[in-house]
A and B are shown apart, each in its own frame.
Chain A
Amino acid sequence: MHDAALAAKPAAQSAAAPLLAVRDLNAWYGESHALHGVTFDVKPGEVVTLLGRNGAGKTTTLKAIMGILGKRTGSVTFEGKETIKLPARTIARAGIAYCPEERGIFSSLSVEENLMLPPQVKAGGMTVERIFELFPNLKERLNSQGTKLSGGEQQMLAIGRILRTGAKTLLLDEPTEGLAPVIIQQIGKTIARLKQEGFTIVLVEQNFRFAATVADRHFVVEQGKVVDQILNDELDANIEKLHAYLGV
């Protein structure tokens, strides 16, 4: 019966096979069990968000997909291939790029070195000129020390450098956190443009108003699990429910 239910599911959403499928993902920080069976999937070209309160496990989910946590079990398939046993560098080489919450700009590297650091993993990455077109500020600061940039510029650098790699699936952890509204807008526009160009994006957000402007679907994360899924088109109808989840 269980098998039948599973088999019926793909038929229902057969429009596209998932690009990234996360099944019963468990993960640990040292001894502490942080994810308790996260399950969701992302179709090619989709932008999805993980919403939830602080400490719900959104960031941990991205880290676990990327393979940078000590221990994880369950299943994460990317383009149909199982990655749960692979090290982070192999997952990156398969075409998933990660932009951490703390942005991860290297202080001992110049802006240019930061931008050029991630190796190309697939053909067809963005040229540096196109990245400057998206983020003109970076061009003027190429020789500065990476961490001398403003918070917004650092975020642009953190996103810009992974666009160079040719990876078409991006994991973005709170790219708008702590930034001025005008910069949040610029990042929103960038995400919309990347979606147009066929990028697939998993976005962790606290700010669901921002999330609503860019995403197709929202997954609600609570206590290390995905507990609900809300289509962006149905967001207004579900706003009360979402408020309850997020405790706002």
Chain B
Amino acid sequence: MFELLGIPPQALFGQLLLGLINGSFYAMLSLGLAIIFGLLNIINFTHGAQYMLGAFVAWMLLNYLGIGYWWALLLVPIIVGATGIIIERLLISRLYHLDHLYGLLLTFGLALILQGLLRNEYGISGLPYGIPAELAGGTNLGFMFLPNYRGWVVIASLAVCLGTWFVIEKTRLGAYLRAATENPTLVGAFGINVPLMITLTYGFGVALAGFAGVLAAPIYSVNPNMGADLIIVVFAVVVIGGMGSILGSVITGFGLGLVEGLTRVFYPEGSAVVIFVIMAIVLMIKPAGLFGRTV
């Protein structure tokens, strides 16, 4: 086999695939964060915990009710999204007239509570969740071996991100959302129910996190800290892409996953920090983020 810069291709493509998988989760989670921030002006610190909740609910559905992966993929976003709607109605909606900081503190506190409750109940060693039979095994692509489930995660994530982008940028509902992000008062004065839109948008963003959690369950072990580990990186992704930019967060998510994978090949010691280094550079050169709108 050929070698590239002294790196065996198996290792290179293996790391790129891993980067693409990580990027899939970065993209889905930062997309949800960007939508929520755009309309609600709330930095949803609970996002990682809601992703973790998605994985846990999938595990519970399987182990307590015997409901498998494919149904979980449909039911978990609905269940987790519904908890989001309850949180928005009961708690977050009381903070809109206050400084952003209060929303951040509230959602951070909620994340700690959620993680603490599940840690108490299930420990931190992680619970196994099997790959669905239909996606077991792998495919030999010639240049590398692709586990089928990982290929599916990338495809599902791309589809969800593009679908969300399409709805927001190309449909009437999306036009309402963009308009309400700019000027909610005027949109309300046109007869549109903005508070309902805000609630549903939060529910949708949280449902995306829940969906990502189900996708993650067979890859990473289901444990209460899985979201906390990921969310810090996702916040860096959102900062790099630009707060509130939909396409920006998707492209940045996948792009940074790949950058991380490449770093792991060529300079493994830097792979844990490369995203934060990029974040610092972007903040210095373009504080609004790569795709952020400077108003």
Contacts and interface: CB of A to CB of B under 8 A. Distances in A.
**Chain B contact residues: over half helix, strand or loop, or mixed?**
helix
Contact of A109 (B179, B185, B191): B179
Interface in B256-295: 293
Interface residues on B, range: 10 to 19
Contact of A88 (B183, B185, B293): B185
A72 B221 CA distance: 55
Contact of B194 (A89, A98, A104, A165): A89
B188 interface: yes
A89 B182 contact: no
Interface residues of A, number: 26
A215 B185 CA distance: 28
Nearest to B171: A113
A96 to B, nearest CB: 9
Interface of A: 66-68, 87-93, 97-98, 100, 104, 106-109, 113, 116-119, 121, 162, 165
Interface string B165-197: 000000010011011011101111111111000
12 contacts: A66-B189, A89-B189, A89-B190, A89-B191, A92-B191, A98-B189, A107-B182, A108-B179, A108-B181, A109-B175, A109-B179, A113-B175
B269 to A, nearest CB: 42
Contacts of A88: 185, 188-189
B182 A116 contact: no
B172 A118 contact: no
Contacts of A113: 175
Nearest to B244: A108
Contact of B172 (A104, A116, A121, A162): A116
Contacts of A66: 189
B178 A108 contact: yes
Contacts of A104: 183, 186
Given A87-B188, A88-B189, A117-B190, 17 more contacts: A88-B188, A89-B190, A89-B191, A90-B191, A98-B186, A106-B179, A106-B182, A107-B182, A108-B179, A108-B293, A109-B175, A113-B175, A116-B172, A116-B175, A118-B191, A119-B192, A121-B191
